[in-house]
Amino acid sequence: MAAAPRRPAPRTPAPRTVDPRTAAPRRPAPEWLRHPLQIASGPGARGALLRGALSTGPLLAAGVAAHRVPEGVLAALGAMFATVNDRAGTRRTRLVRIGVPGLAVAVAFLLGSLVAVAAAPGGGVPAVLGTTALVAVAAYLSGAVSTVGPVASMAALQALATLLIAAGLPHHGPPWTGAAMLAGGAGWVLLLAAALAPPHRGPGRARARAAEEREAVAAAFDALGGVLRAAGTDRVEDARRTLTAALDRAHAALDLHRRGRPSPAERRLRAQLAVAADACEAAVTLLWEARPLPAYAADAPLRLARAVRTGAPCGPLAAPAPDTPGRRALHEALLHAAEVFGTPGRTADAPPRPPLRDHPAVRRALGPLGREYGLRVALCTGACTAVAQLLRPDQWYWLPVTAVFLVKPDLGPLFSRSVNRLLGTAAGVGLFAAAAAALPGAAGPVAAAALCGALLPVAWRNFAFQTAALTPIVLAFAVLSGSQGAPVSRLVDTVLGCGIALAAGHLPRLGGRRTAVAVHWAAALRAAQAYLERVVDAPDGPREERLRLRRAAYRALAEARTAVSQAAAELPPAGVAAADWAPAVTAVERLVDATTACAVRVEHGGRPLPAAEARSLADALARLADDADARRRRPDGPALPDPVLLGSRCASLADVAGQLHAVRALSPAA
């Protein structure tokens, strides 16, 4: 099998003369210091400001005007939580993002009422211990559930905060009334989202319903065009990560709305997405071959993206000359695309869902990652509950609620969130004080809640902004409910909560991010091992299974890279050194790339893989995965084939061997 061209070596720039007297070395600030200042980017929901203005403030004002302040506060609280979850998306997406946490909040209020009753009556140490134990159990479950996904994480966070509020508030009426008010507030935001969301343009009701899915699939073809433009340049890794992320988003968009009987439009979108996944193998191989493609090569994916968005024919698809395995694979992928897009009735069914016990999210919640998250949240929330009941038994729930919003590991680095919490709380207290001084009576708190409720949908870009918007709303709830000294108490509780969370979050073996990074690292190695074994053991097996394993490997690597970036922003020693972990994750990414290129070359005219060397590579990667699962560091291992000697027999397997050497060299450091 002919050796594929290697990536060109980077050019070494000519040295520049630097005057040491005028050019002092500039070291970048550590990530934990820069992270609090970062502002997220992303699309905002259309009409979000209007929906926010019509949600929290009006419900609170209605309760005050009707002299039903407790009910108005609870309805406005449910609307506030729902407004936080109101992000850009279709009506069906908002139903999941707002409705699931809304139901969780209503159930949590009932459970919080039971906690208030179940705690030992009469006060004293037994009551403190009983309440703290029950809160710690609920916090553990909240932390474990947070590993399932973003919607589950937000539902667990808001449910735990509501449970604490229900356990500490004096109740006015039966608990089910409060639960109904919370659910009604969330339902009001859902109603606003359905009524005020901009209508989708396009002929046909089915196309309007599938607008989000169509855009996600079209974005995958756009990213495929970016990969073809990046071939032979220094942008290959970024382009490949963009493509795999776009494919993951497209699969998630289709799976989010999976129903019992999908419509023909949804099944056709799945067939079109399968074309993009098929072409991804060819694109990764082209990146590995490191040969620039002609300019017209990127036109085909853009035509396919336009066809997905408009429903029009894709037109002719031009492919480069099929003179390498990657180009032959791209040529066949485009022929398959022309067939799928040119056949109106071509559809595909969704892959079967795995059993609940085998679902990756369930395994994370029940595994070491869920246990670490749960213990961390339980420790911080329980400690804050005990301290608050001893210092301020009448309003003890404020302190643990502060810790809940800080210590959830999936929401960001603890130090960054603590700094932003302090700054945002101070700004929010100042804003509330200004509104209360400018307007007499209940008008000031209601006005502050209405103004900040309108700002909530756009305040998510930084935790300090979000805290500054949430604090006046919470203070308005407290003041209208009769709480005295709420602004000062809120500042004190924030300082105490940040201190307890930082102390507990940095305890050895209980705080920090090392377990999360290690779990994601082991999962990435295990996924890469499963993919490599499929390629070397069953090269002629079903392509669908190979594509599924490749996507699972890239998805696990993306999660590992995210875990490393978040851990690098933690305050030492709770974090990890990105210089140790990032190169190791990159090496596994290149190993999966090389495995993909190897599979494509064998499939398109290459000679069979040498059985002994292929098996030794799979066994070596399996040992690395076993060591990662067991948290062992063994720099030695079985002898690997020499990539140079192996290249004369099989260049494809030599590439895999070279990358596996790099992974094994970097694994002990990580």
Label residue 1 by pLDDT band (50, 70, 90): very low
What's the CA gap between 432 and 463, in Å, rounded? Answer: 18
Using CA atoms, how far apart are residues 79 and 60, in angstroms rounded to an integer?
10
pLDDT (average), residues 208-222: 79
pLDDT tens per residue, range 376-427: 899 889 999 999 888 887 778 888 998 888 887 777 788 888 999 999 999 9
Mean pLDDT of 30-52: 73
Of 199-213, 325-339, 341-355, 378-392, the range with the lowest mean pLDDT is 199-213
The predicted structure's pLDDT at residue 451: 92
* Distance between CA atoms of residues 62 and 458, nearest Å: 24
Section 45-66 average pLDDT = 84
pLDDT beyond 70 at 352: no
pLDDT at 518: 85
CA 450 to chain centre: 30
Q: What percentage of the chain's residues is helix, strand, coil (to nearest 5)?
A: 70, 0, 30
Mean pLDDT across 183-191: 91
Q: How far apart are CA 523 and CA 361, in angstroms?
A: 12
Cα three-residue angle 555-561-564, rounded to 5 degrees: 145
- Does residue 15 have a pLDDT over 70? no
Q: Which of 18-27, 382-391, 566-575 has the lowest mean pLDDT?
A: 18-27
User: Taking Cα atoms as reference points, which of 401, 409, 419 lies closest to residue 168?
Assistant: 401
Give the three-state DSSP class for 201: coil
Kindly report the average pLDDT of the chain as a whole number. 81
Q: Determine whether 260 is exposed, middle or buried from the number of CB atoms within 10 Å of its CB (0-12, 13-18, 19+).
A: exposed
- 357 DSSP assignment: G
| pLDDT value, residue 278 | 85
Residue 313 CA to residue 306 CA, distance in Å, equals: 9
In percent, the amount of the chain with pLDDT more than 70 equals: 84
Q: Give the model's pLDDT for residue 104.
A: 94
For residue 2, what pLDDT is reported?
A: 39
- At residue 430, the pLDDT reads 93
Q: Any idea which of 481-485, 616-620, 626-630 has the lowest mean pLDDT?
A: 481-485
- For 611, the 3-state DSSP assignment is helix
Write down the pLDDT at residue 51. 83
Length, in residues, of the chain: 670
Task: Find, among 465, 469, 474, the residue nearest to 451 by Cα.
Answer: 469
Buried b (16+ CB within 10 A) or exposed e, 275-304: bbbbbbbbbbbbbbbbbebeeebbbbbbbb
Per the CB < 8 A criterion, the answer to whether 131 and 166 are in contact is no
Q: How confident is the model at residue 531 (pLDDT cuts 50, 70, 90)?
A: very high
370 pLDDT tier (thresholds 50, 70, 90) = confident
Q: What's the one-letter identity of residue 50?
A: L
Q: Which class for 255: exposed (0-12), middle (13-18), buried (19 or more C-beta within 10 A)? A: exposed
Per-residue DSSP letter, 102: H
pLDDT of 6 = 43
- The angle formed by the CA atoms of residues 648, 649 and 655, to the nearest 5 degrees, is 80
The confidence score (pLDDT) of residue 89 equals: 60
Cβ of 586: how many Cβ atoms within 10 Å? 16
Q: CA 202: distance to chain centroid?
A: 31
> How many H-runs (helices) and E-runs (strands) does the chain carry?
27, 0
Contact 605, 325 (CB under 8 A): yes
In this predicted structure, the answer to whether residue 207 has a pLDDT above a threshold of 50 is: no
Q: Please report the pLDDT score of residue 5 as a whole number.
A: 40
CA-CA distance, 360 to 609, in Å (whole number)? 32
Q: Which helix (H) or strand (E) holds 633?
A: none
Residue 569, SS3 per DSSP: coil
Tokens of 420: 């932003």
pLDDT of residue 637: 66
Q: Would you state the pLDDT for residue 105? A: 94
DSSP sequence for 461-513: GSHHHHHHHHHHHHHHHHHHTT-SSHHHHHHHHHHHHHHHHHHHTTSTTTSSS
Closest C-alpha among 658, 510, 446, 480 to residue 3: 658
Q: 């002898």: which residue's tokens?
A: 639
Coil/strand/helix, residue 204: coil
Residue 317 has pLDDT above 60, yes or no: yes
Q: Where are the domains of the chain?
A: 45-198+366-504, 206-342, 514-666
Smallest CA-to-CA distance from 458 within 153, 47, 37 is with 47
Write phi, then psi, for 618 (nearest 5 degrees).
Answer: -65, -40
Angle at 184 between CA 183 and CA 189, to 5 degrees: 100
Peptide bond into 294 cis (omega under 30): no
The token pair that represents 270 in the structure block: 């799945």
pLDDT value at residue 236: 85
Q: Is 173 left (phi over 0), alpha (psi -120 to 50) or beta?
A: left
Q: Which of 154-158, 212-216, 552-556 has the lowest mean pLDDT?
A: 212-216
* pLDDT over 60 at 209, yes or no: no
Whether the pLDDT of residue 528 is over 90: the answer is: yes
What pLDDT digit, counting tens, does each position of 134-174 carry?
999 999 999 999 888 888 889 999 999 999 999 887 766 78
SS3 354: coil
- Look at residue 414 in the predicted model and tell me its pLDDT: 85
